[in-house]
Amino acid sequence: MTAIDLRITDGPSSTNHSTAELLSPERRVPTPMLIALDDDSETEGEVLRLRKTETTLGRRHADWCFANDADISSLHAKILRTGDDHGGCVWQLVDQQSTNGTYVRKTSIPLTAEDSFMIGGLGFRWERSQGTSPQFQMTEIGGSSHAIPINSGNRLRIGRDETSAEIHLDHRTIDPIHAALRETSRGWLLEDQHSRNGIWHRVTSFTLCSGSTFILGEQRFVFRLPNDAAGSFRQRGMMP
- pLDDT tens-digit series, residues 212-224: 999 999 999 999 9
Q: Are 57 and 63 in contact (CB under 8 A)?
A: yes
Task: Tell me which CATH code domain 33-103+200-235 carries.
Answer: 2.60.200.20
**3-42: pLDDT as tens digits:** 556 555 665 555 578 999 888 888 888 899 999 999 999 9
Same CATH topology for 33-103+200-235 and 106-197: the answer is yes
Q: What are phi and psi of 89, to 5 degrees?
A: -125, 150
**Residue 148 Rama label (left phi>0; alpha psi -120 to 50; beta):** beta
> Which pTM does this prediction carry?
0.84
- H or E segment to which residue 235 belongs: helix 227-235
pLDDT range class, residue 235, cuts 50, 70, 90 = very low
Annotated domain spans of the chain:
33-103+200-235, 106-197
Burial of 149 (0-12, 13-18, 19+ CB in 10 A): exposed
Of 2.60.200, 3.40.50, 2.30.30, 1.10.10, the CATH number of 106-197 is: 2.60.200
**157-186: pLDDT as tens digits:** 999 999 999 999 999 999 999 999 998 888
**46-79: pLDDT as tens digits:** 999 999 999 999 999 999 999 999 999 999 999 9
